[in-house]
Amino acid sequence: MTTEKRTSATAGDARHGAAIDVRDLHKYFGDNEVLKGIDFHVDNGQVVCVIGPSGSGKSTLLRCVNMLETPTKGQIFVEGEEITDPDADVDRLRSRIGMVFQQFNLFPHMTVLRNLTIAQQRVKKRGRPEAVEVARRNLAKVGLADKESAYPAHLSGGQMQRVAIARALSMDPDMMLFDEPTSALDPELVGDVLAVMKDLAAEGMTMMVVTHEMGFAREVGDKLVFMDGGVIVEEGLPSEVLANPQHERTQSFLSKVL
């Protein structure tokens, strides 16, 4: 795992060691340009937090990384493979990128265990015993070993989000994307989910986290990215950006949320 950090985009091939490498990314919804040329990378083992006001394009950026949104222009490399290449095997690349959604998106017609095993069996072609073993290990990791036969409707929001994290982990991903994972939770449930994410970061998981949790960003993040109006306004060490924002837009945003 590399701890090497690079700050500027270089032309040519994907930066070696970068888990996610985004180059000159543009995204339009109709006539509305949501991303206006994003250059950005996440190194292996890094935890990168993306903050910004709503409508700044931070979720769209995250969703472009695993091609849930198709970029209008630009390139994205995942572990050196270009996922934006029209010939890329997007399904295979996605199976290596875990994703956690704001609304959990658990499969409501399946038990918790089945939520964790179905993609292992159907996509990774694991046998059921192996899939169940992996699922149980990950459920234990998020502290929900006793919930494997429950249906999602019977869980609290915090439990659902932890199951969603376990579901993504069961695919043994190289990296995890989090799209405002705690924004839909009751305040007293946020802590459980953040604790699981902290453990994950401590294990060296590569993470890209769109969040409003400044405490998490400061404590766990290796890099903080502030976006506004479809561009990256400022990025750097979380402690520095939060304590001493350089850009006026960053200052005004932070003064409202901190």
Partner 1 sequence: MASPRQRAARWRLVQYAVLAIVLVAALLLANWGELKRAMFDPDIIREQFPDVITVALKNTLIYTACGFTFGLALGLVLALMRLSSVGPYRWIATGVIELFRGLPALVVFLALSVGVPLAFPDREIPFGNLGTVTLALGLVGGAYMAETIRAGIQAVPKGQMEAARSLGMSHARAMLSVVIPQAFRVILPPLTNELILLTKDSSLVYILGLSYQEYELTKFGREGMNTAANLTPIIVIGLCYLLITVPLSIVVRRLESRAERAR
> Which positions touch partner 1 (CB under 8 A)?
66, 68, 91-92, 94-99, 101, 103, 105-109, 118-119, 122-124, 151, 153, 164, 167-168, 171
Separation CA 65–CA 100 (nearest Å): 13
Nearer to partner 1, 164 or 220 (CB): 164
Nearer to partner 1, 181 or 245 (CB): 181
From the CB of 16, what's the least distance to partner 1, in Å? 25
Residue 94 CB, shortest distance to partner 1, in Å, is 5
User: How far does the chain reach from its first CA to its final CA, in angstroms?
Assistant: 33
Gap between the Cα atoms of 82 and 184, Å rounded? 32
To the nearest whole angstrom, how small is the minimum distance from the Cβ of residue 64 to partner 1?
A: 13
- At closest approach, how far in Å is the CB of 151 from partner 1? 5
Residue 255 burial class via C-beta count within 10 angstroms: exposed 0-12, middle 13-18, buried 19 and up:
exposed
Residue 107 or 136 having the CB closest to partner 1? 107
Q: State the nearest-atom distance from the C-beta of 193 to partner 1, in Å.
A: 17
Tokens found for residue 38: 């994003």
Residues 42 and 31: beta-carbon distance below 8 Å: no
- Reduced to 3 states, what is the DSSP secondary structure of residue 153? helix
Structure tokens given for 127: 């046998």
CB of 92 to partner 1, least distance (A): 7
CA distance 24 to 76: 9
Within the chain, residue ranges assigned H as helices are 58-65, 90-94, 112-122, 128-141, 157-169, 187-202, 214-220, 238-243, 248-257
